[in-house]
Chain A
Amino acid sequence: MRYFDVIVVGGGHAGIEAVYAADKMGCSVAVVTMDKNGFGRMSCNPAIGGSAKGHLVHEIDALGGAMGVLADLTGIQFRILNRSKGPAVWAGRCQSERELYSKAASEFVAGLPRTTIIEDSVVEVFEENAQIVGVRTLKGEEIKCKSVIVCSGTFLNGLMHTGFTKTQGGRYGEEPSLGLTESLVKMGFEAGRLKTGTPARLNKETIDYSVLEEQPGDENPEPFSLKTNKLKFPFLPQVSCHMTYTDLDVHKELEKGFDRSPLFTGVINGVGPRYCPSIEDKIVRFSDKPRHQLFLEPESLNTNIIYINGFSSSLPADIQYNALHKIKGLEHVEMLRPGYAVEYDYFPPYQIDLTLETKKIKGLYFAGQVNGTSGYEEAAAQGLIAGVNAALKIQNKAEFVLKRSEAYIGVLVDDLVGKSTDEPYRMFTSRAEHRLLLRQDNSDRRLMEYGYSFGLVDEDIYKEFKIREVLITKSKDLLNKVKIQPAKYNSIVEENNKIEFSETIGKLVKRPDANLNTLLSLVEENTNKTLTELKENQTVVEQVEIELKYEGYIKRQQEIIERFEKLENVQIPVNLDYKKLNAISTEGREKLNKVKPRSIGQASRISGVTPSDISALLIYLKN
C-alpha cells in the first residue's frame, strides 16, 4: 500500500498551491486528479485578479506561492484597476491564456520533486480515532497518509443545468466526483449545496468588433510576482477586450425562456452568489435597469473562443442563442456552447479551524470551493494555507494563522470560520477593516518573512526584499531631513502652492498632487549615497511615497488595530459550554456553540452574536 505524508484531492487552483507548499516544505505528496494535463483549469472567466482578488494574488506570491508566477507567464492583458484612487485599492488584473495557464500549471506540478500525480478520483476517506489515515480511489486503490487536503472545486456531486437539461459534471465536458461527500457526511460533517454559473462561449470570427468599444490593457503592464523578470515581461502578445450592452429587446428575448428556467422553476436548490447573478436574475431583480454591461474576453491566442462576461445564464440554449443575437455586435454570432449553472456540494466552513483543518477530524483539511468560496484566487489562498499547515503539523511545528490586520488571506479565513457562509464567498476590499494597510504594494513587507521561514521563498528573492527594507527605512529618515529651497520648489508648482521657507521632502510629499520622483529630481545629484540608491529603485520610491503621503491615515489605522487586537487577545476556552450562558441570546448561543471561537474578537464577528451577547460573555469570563 502506497503512503504519502499529504494527499491533495483535486488539481485546481487550491490544489496546486497545497501540493506545492507541502512538497517544498519537505513532505511526500500525492495529488489525485482526473487529468494530469488539467491542472489549474479556469472553469469560468479567463482572468486572474481584480479588486481584492489582485491583493490575494500578491499575498500568495509574497508567501512564496505559485499563482502570481503562473499568471505572469500566461497573461495576455494586464491592467491595474482603480489607478485613479488611492494605493490601497489599486488591484492587478490580467486576462489569461486559458490553455497555456493550464499547461504551465501542469508542467509546474509535474516538476515538483516530492510529488506523485495520480490520475484517479478520491471516493472515500478513512479515519481512526478522529485522525485521518488514508483514502480510497475510484479505481479501488487504498493509499495511506497523515493528512488529506480536499480541494474538490465544483466537482462534488456536480450537476450542470442548461434549461431543463441536466448533465452530471463539475465543469463542461468533465465527470463529477461522486462518493466523497457521502463519505464525509458519514463521518458527521454537514454538507450544503451551492450554485454558480458561467456564460456562453462565442466564436471570435463571428463578432462584429467594428461597432464595439475596445478595452486595451495598460500601456506599461505590471506583473503580479516579485519573481517575474520585469525586463522580459510580458511574455505573451497582448490583446484587447471589448464592451457591449444588453437592451430591452435582449431582456424581452430572455424572458421568453423563463418558464424553462431551472432557476425560476425551482429545479436549482443551491444558493448562488448575489454579486455574480445570472443575466436572467439581473433583469428580474433590477427590472428598472434598461441595460447591462457585457465584456467580450478572449480565452486564448490560439483558439477563437470568446468568453462573454456578464451574461452567465442557465436558460435553455435556444433562448441564450436568440438573446445573444439581439446584442450589438453579436447579431451573427456563433454560440460555441451555451452557458450553464452548476450545483455542487460544499461543507459550511464553521466546521474548519483557522488552519483550515477540520475541527472534527485531525489531519483533514478543506480548501477552496468546498469551503463555500468562489474564485480562483480565494481558492489558491486557501490551498496555500492548508498546504503549509498540513506540513507544519506533520513536522510538529506551530500552526500558521494570519490575522485580519495582516492580510486579506487572514480576513478570508476568519470570515469563513467565524461567519460561515451560505452563498459563494468572494473577497472584496470592503471586507477588510484595515484596508489602508493591506495593500498590494506592501504584500512582501507584510508576509515574506513567514514565507521565508517556511522555506517557500527563495534566497535571492528574500535577499532583494531585505535590501529594499533597509533602503525604505533609511530613505524615510533621510527625506524627513532633506530640505528643498523655495526657489527650486516654486519653479515646479502652481502660483497658489508656492512656499516661503525651505521645507523637508517628507512634508512636501504630503501635499495634494505631490510626486516623490519630481521632488527627488530637485535634489542635487550625488549628494548622498542613499538618495542615489533610492532614485534607482522605483519599487522603494513608491513604497516610501505611500508611507509618507498617507502617514496620518496609516497611523490612525494602526491605532484602530491596537484597540481591535485587545479583543482578539481575550481568549475563550474551547470547551466553554455556551448552552449554560443564559444571558446570551438563544441565537447567539447556538452560533457560538457551532463556531467555538478562539477569542472575543472572533466571537464578535459571528453573525447573530450581538454586542449584548459579547458583554455577557466578557462578564462570564471575568467571573
Chain B
Amino acid sequence: MNILQNDTITAIATANGEGAISVIRVSGTDSFTIVDSIFAGKSKTTESKTHTIHYGNILDKVGAVVDDVLVSVFRAPNSYTGEDSVEISSHGNNLIVKRILELLLEKGARSAEPGEFTKRAFLNGRLDLSQAEAVLDLIKSRTESALRGARNQLDGLLSQKITGLRDTLVAAASLIELELDFSEEDYEFISKEDVLNKIDGVLSEIAFLLDSYRFGKLLRDGINLAIIGEPNVGKSSLLNYILKEARAIVSDVPGTTRDIIREEISIDGVLFKIYDTAGIRQSADLVEKEGVKRSLETVQNSDIILWLTDVNNEYSDSIKNELEKYTNTNKIIKVVNKIDLENKKNIKGDVYISSKTGSGIEELFDSMKKHTVGEGVYTEKSTIISNVRHYDSLKKTVEFLHAAKDSINNNMSGEFIAVDLRNAIDAMSEIIGVVTSDDILNNIFSKFCIGK
C-alpha cells in the first residue's frame, strides 16, 4: 500500500523580492532527475553524495543560460522533509527565480502548497506535531519577539509549564481515586480544602496563560494601531515621524482604502500595523460621513488607538461618546501634539509630543508598548500561548475545573469530582501530547502503600 505522497514539489524558500540570493527548494522522489534536466554542472545531482554543493548553470529549453547557481543535494532521509531534496541558490532576482520555477514545473515538479514542506517533514517523522506547529509559527512570525515565542515552544517551555500543572491535577485526582478504589486501606484521606487549593492554584496559572494568548497572538500577528483625531491636528506628520523614528520599517503596504493608510513598523521587536485614518468630526458632508464611518470601523478593529489632538483643541465629548461605542476606552491613548507651539491651552492627555521636534516620541513608544504587554507582566521570555489549539484546550480545562469545584462545594462524592478532573487532565494532555490513561493509578502506586 503506497500511502505516502511522493510526487515532487517545488517552491521559493526565501522571501519574495530582491536580495543577494534566492533559494528554490525541490523535494520528492524525482528531485534529482528533474533538477539534472535543467542543470549543467561538473557533476549530476543524481550521482552526488548527500550534503554536497555543486556549481553550474541553469539552462532553458533552447540551452540558453538562465543563471549560474549553486545546487545543494540532500538525500533521503537526511533532509528537512525526509525526502530526496535539492536547494537551488540563484541570484536574487524575481525574474530569474520565476524562470527557474517555470522550468522545474515543465519538467514535472508540482508547485508546493503553503506549508507542504513542513507537512511532509511531519509525515516522514522528521518533526512531531507540536514542533510542526511551531515551525509554521516561526515561518509566519514577522518580528523578533514573535520569533522568540515560537522558538520557546519549540524548545519546550510551554510543555514544561503544562506538564507541571497537569502533574498537580494528577496528584489531586490520585487522592480522590485513592479514596474510591482503596477505601479499605489505612490512609487518612485528603481534605476537600487541599483538593480545592490544588485546583485553584492551577486555575490561576491557566488564567495567566489564557491572558497571554492575546499577547502571544499580538506578537505573532502584530498590533493593530489606529491614529485618529480631528483634521489638522497632525496625524500625518505624527505617522511620518513614527516611521522615521522606528527602528525598522517592516513594509509599506499601500493604503487599503482611499482614506486609510497602513504602515508596518517594529518597535523593540513588537510589530505594529499602523492605520492613519481620515479625520473624525461631526459633519453633514456625505463624503466625509463615509470617511468617518470607515475610520470608526478601523477603531473597532484596533488593539490600540492613538487619539490625537493639539494643544489648542479640547478633546471633544461627542467624539468620545462615538468612540466608546466602537472600542474599550482603555485601548485609547490620548496624545496631545504640537507642544512646541507657544500658545497653548491646558489640555489633559496621556502623552505630550511634538511631531515637529520629536519630543515625547519615546514616551509615546513606551506607552504603546505598555498598552500591548500590560504592566510588564509578560515579556517575550515568559511562557505564552499563541496557538489557538492550545488556547481552546486551556479554555476547556478551565470549564472542567470549575465543574469539579462545583461538585466539591456541593459535597458530591469523589467519583463525580473525578469525572471533571479527568476531563481537565485530558484537555491539558492534548496540548503536550502525552498519553494519560494510566497516570493516575501509576501515581497512586508510587506514592501510597496499597494492597493487603
Contact = CB atoms under 8 A, between A and B. Distances in A.
Interface of A: 45, 50-52, 81-82, 84-86, 88-89, 245, 273-277, 282, 285-286, 289, 291-295, 309-310, 312, 419, 428-431, 433, 435-436, 512, 550, 553, 556-557, 560, 576-577, 580-585, 604-605, 607-612, 615-616, 619-620, 623
B433 A611 contact: yes
Given A85-B180, A611-B129, 19 more contacts: A81-B183, A82-B180, A85-B183, A89-B414, A89-B415, A275-B450, A285-B449, A310-B451, A312-B452, A429-B181, A576-B1, A585-B125, A604-B435, A607-B438, A610-B434, A611-B433, A612-B129, A615-B129, A616-B122
Given A85-B415, A430-B177, A282 B434 contact: no
Closest 7 CB pairs of A and B: A86-B413, A293-B186, A286-B449, A85-B413, A276-B451, A274-B445, A582-B125
Contacts of B218: none
Contact of A86 (B122, B416, B429, B437): B416
B124 A583 contact: yes
A583 B125 contact: yes
B341 interface: no
A562 B390 CA distance: 23
A620 B3 contact: yes
A607 B435 CA distance: 7
B364 to A, nearest CB: 45
A203 to B, nearest CB: 20
Given A276-B451, A607-B435, A623-B3, A433 B125 contact: no
16 contacts: A86-B414, A86-B416, A89-B180, A89-B413, A274-B451, A286-B448, A292-B449, A312-B452, A435-B415, A560-B423, A607-B437, A608-B435, A610-B434, A610-B435, A611-B430, A615-B129
Contact of A553 (B180, B182, B414, B419): B419
A556 B419 contact: yes
Contacts of B437: 419, 605, 607
Contacts of A293: 185-186, 452
Interface in B311-367: none
Contacts of B124: 582-583
Interface in B173-201: 177, 179-186
A133 B360 CA distance: 94
B182 A51 contact: yes
A275 B184 CA distance: 13
A546 B45 CA distance: 73
Contacts of A81: 183-184
A242 B124 CA distance: 62
A276 B435 contact: no
A623 B185 CA distance: 52
B186 A430 contact: no
A429 B128 CA distance: 34
Nearest to A427: B181
B441 A428 contact: yes
A582 B125 CA distance: 5
Contact of B451 (A275, A577, A605, A619): A275
Contacts, number: 140
B82 interface: yes
B440 interface: yes
B249 interface: no
B130 interface: yes
A582 B83 CA distance: 11
A436 B419 contact: yes
B123 interface: yes
B256 interface: no
Contacts of A553: 416, 419
Nearest to B5: A623
B422 interface: yes
A619 B433 CA distance: 16
B388 interface: no
B412 interface: yes
Contact of A512 (B5, B128, B181, B410): B410
B172 to A, nearest CB: 13
Given A277-B449, A293-B186, A612 B433 contact: yes
B128 A612 contact: yes
B418 interface: yes
A430 B440 contact: yes
B14 interface: no
A275 B412 contact: no
Q: Which of A52, A430, A610 has most B Cβ within 10 Å?
A: A430
B286 interface: no
